Amino acid sequence: MQPRPLYNIPLRMLDRLTRIHPEECLTTILAAVCFFLIMCGYFMLRPIRETMGLDQHIDDLHWLFLGTLTVMIPTSLGFSWLASRLSRRNCITTTFIIVLICLAGFTLALTVFDRVLGPWTGRIFYVWLSVINVLIISAFWVTVVDNHRPEQGRRLFAFIAVGGTLGAIVGPIITATTIHHLGEPLLLCTAYFCFALTLAILRFVLFPAFDRKAYVVADGQAHSRRRIGGSAINGLLHLFTNPRLGLLALYIISFTILASLLYFEQARLIKEALPERTDRTRLFGWMGVGSQTATILLQLFITSRILTRFGLAPALLALPLLMLFGFFTLTLTPDMLAA
């Protein structure tokens, strides 16, 4: 019996550790890299967005939330309309091109037209990043899910998600450690590079790799080249026709309301404690690092145990209960927190 080639050893080790088969290595690793770049770029920009939000009077912050909602609804409908008429490949390509054009515009506004536009650049950027975050992550996962069978998803998606979590940790570290030296425009350029590299990998490497796989639909056409179909309001109608989906939407709305109240209180405390913009951005960056690190630790060691032992319903109930406990603690010690 001939010994196996040495170059197969890393593939066998990867298969044993992550259950990624050798023929799946290229697409899975590339998908994880793309998700890393997406999350790194977004979380690099998020501390800047939070600082721009604090440029407003604290009592006017709710107008940015209202603006986000006002823009989110037509944008989501427009994205659904676009997705129903374009192939998956062209849909995600168009989405990223729009993101890159907007990001270049914001960089230009901060460097050339800052005195002319004044605070409006920050206000528009705050709303834009809040909206576009949902679209690029959704477009990415639609592409990944539709190019994997359910059995593959159970094995591979956790590995891909780890790439995103690492990106969510690296991104705010970059912002927190370089904001004093680079400034906001250069950090926007760095995030631009992350999104541009993601688009290049998707368009010229990952999509062709998906097409070479044997996963095709009934007419023999690759999934990435097919249209998603449907209409722009089909998803909205499902909220009213599917009771479980409707209850899940109600849960998300309720949780978002609690999170928004906590966000406003956090913004007030930080604005009072840190008058300098770069100091605020740096703090928001390190807060992002801490929250994402806690997230990955909870995912690895606690979440699966809770789901296995108690089920989904108690796990969903735990999060709002923890938030209510936080509010209760905040009401007991407001002076200490403000100090």
Instruction: Tell me the average confidence (pLDDT) per consecutive run of 10 residues in the chain, 339 residues long.
Output: 48 58 82 95 95 85 89 85 78 91 93 80 93 88 81 79 92 95 93 96 86 54 55 71 85 85 86 90 94 82 76 80 80 58
Residue 250 lies in a domain: yes
Q: What is the pLDDT of residue 13?
A: 53
Residue 16 lies in a domain: no
Is 283 among the domain residues?
A: yes
Predicted local confidence at residue 46, as pLDDT: 95
Domains contained in the chain, number:
1
pLDDT of residue 217: 46
pLDDT at 106: 94
Does 249 map to a domain? yes
User: What is the pTM for the complete model shown?
Assistant: 0.82
Task: Find the domain containing 80 and state its range.
Answer: 21-338
| pLDDT at position 220 | 46
Domain annotation covers residue 269:
yes
Do 168 and 288 form a contact (C-beta atoms < 8 A)?
yes
| Residues across the chain | 339
Token representation of residue 99: 């993101």
User: What per-residue confidence (pLDDT) applies to 90?
Assistant: 84
